[in-house]
């Protein structure tokens, strides 16, 4: 009977877990709908602004801006965008692994210099540096615990994701880049494709990637007439476009998080259903065996009394 009791306890435990995963799946599906609508509405506007910005940054436009200048890379800032909560499959793990891989492969020399000079005071003399900004609690917890050079963490941004809350973070990144503290800024995040697919993306945020001249003459870059003035428009357009791009990145990650969690909870619920079937079958077999054993003992005792 002890075996039957253990199986009953396991069945009750799996049922409780299934209720939780099923509820989380429905909550994520509801949140995903809103997040998906937000990113799908933002993409056309963001895409057009990005196209204009890349055209302006091409050599044909002769645009001068601190955000467009390519520099020799000595200092790098990596922005890792994760979530505040878990139970969303490999969503956070993939971002963290990619960010760490960037440190140890693409920027290995700079990262080693950072480790060697970590004991020196702030303002080291250009020996190379790789800093990390974490947006989301999961990435921050992992990287801080392992002593990576995390200079900022933003864990409340996804509680109410609005452009007004995102804009100061983008402005801060743009400011330190303009001041020359960093020569390149990259963002690692999950780009939303659909509820079941998230595309892990590493995107250069600063300096702005310049468009290459089209080989096909029918696809020439656009040329613009600036009114009232080129310098004034560029000064306003580039910062605004960069902030919009950063907001779109966070919307992408937010929608991807709910899609990943909904998929993970759906699979967990299905696994719980399969496990319940197996446990109930085992329970019924054990119960039937126990009943058969008791009947045989009764019959055996009756036969013994007759004898």
- Is the pLDDT reported for residue 60 higher than 80? no
CATH code of residue 38: 3.40.1380.10
> Would you say residue 213 lies in a domain?
yes
Nearest alpha-carbon partner for 250 in 100, 86, 93, 135: 135
> Would you say residue 143 lies in a domain?
yes
Give the pLDDT confidence score for residue 135 in this predicted structure. 96
> Would you say residue 297 lies in a domain?
no
- Is the pLDDT reported for residue 17 higher than 80? yes
- Is the pLDDT reported for residue 128 higher than 50? no
Mean pLDDT (whole number) for 78-104: 93
Question: Given the structure tokens 């998906």, which residue do they identify?
Answer: 36
Q: What is the pLDDT of residues 227-262, one digit of tens each?
A: 777 777 777 888 999 999 999 999 999 999 999 999
> Would you say residue 7 lies in a domain?
no
Q: Are 145 and 164 in contact (CB under 8 A)?
A: no
> Would you say residue 58 lies in a domain?
yes
Question: Given the structure tokens 């100061």, which residue do they identify?
Answer: 168
> Would you say residue 271 lies in a domain?
no
Q: What is the mean pLDDT of the chain?
A: 85
The rounded percent of the chain whose pLDDT value lies above 70 is 85
Q: Residues in the chain, how many? A: 307
pTM of structure: 0.83
> Would you say residue 272 lies in a domain?
no
Q: How far apart, in whole angstroms, are the C-alpha atoms of residue 80 and residue 92?
A: 10
Q: Which domain holds residue 42?
A: 20-265
> Would you say residue 285 lies in a domain?
no
Domain count, the chain: 1
Q: What is the pLDDT of residues 115-125, one digit of tens each?
A: 544 444 443 43
Q: How far apart, in whole angstroms, are the C-alpha atoms of residue 151 and residue 173?
A: 12
């Amino acid at each position: 009977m002890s075996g039957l009791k253990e199986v009953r306890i396991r069945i009750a435990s799996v049922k409780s877990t299934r209720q939780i995963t099923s509820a989380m799946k429905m909550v994520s599906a509801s949140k995903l709908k809103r997040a998906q609508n937000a990113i799908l509405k933002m993409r056309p506007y963001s895409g057009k602004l990005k196209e204009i910005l890349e055209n302006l940054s091409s050599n044909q436009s002769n645009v001068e801006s601190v955000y467009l200048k390519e520099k020799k890379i000595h200092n790098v800032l990596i922005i890792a965008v994760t979530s505040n909560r878990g139970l969303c499959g490999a969503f956070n793990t993939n971002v963290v692994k990619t960010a760490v891989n960037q440190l140890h492969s693409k920027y290995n020399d700079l990262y080693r210099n950072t480790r060697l000079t970590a004991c020196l005071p702030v303002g080291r003399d250009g020996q190379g540096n790789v800093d990390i900004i974490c947006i989301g609690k999961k990435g921050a917890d992992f990287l801080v615990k392992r002593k990576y050079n995390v200079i900022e963490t933003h864990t409340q941004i996804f509680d109410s994701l609005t452009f007004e809350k995102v804009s100061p973070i983008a402005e801060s990144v743009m400011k330190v880049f303009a001041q020359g503290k960093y020569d390149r800024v990259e963002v690692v995040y999950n780009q939303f494709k659909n509820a079941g697919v998230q595309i892990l993306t590493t995107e250069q945020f600063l300096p702005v990637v310049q468009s290459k001249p089209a080989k096909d003459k029918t696809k020439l870059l656009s040329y613009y007439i600036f009114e009232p003035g080129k310098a004034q428009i560029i000064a306003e357009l580039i910062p605004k476009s960069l902030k919009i791009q950063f907001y779109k990145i966070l919307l992408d990650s937010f929608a991807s998080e709910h899609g990943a969690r909904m998929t993970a909870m759906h699979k967990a619920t299905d696994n719980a259903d399969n496990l319940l079937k197996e446990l109930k079958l085992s329970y019924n077999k054990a119960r039937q065996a126990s009943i058969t054993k008791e009947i045989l003992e009764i019959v055996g005792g009756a036969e013994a009394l007759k004898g």
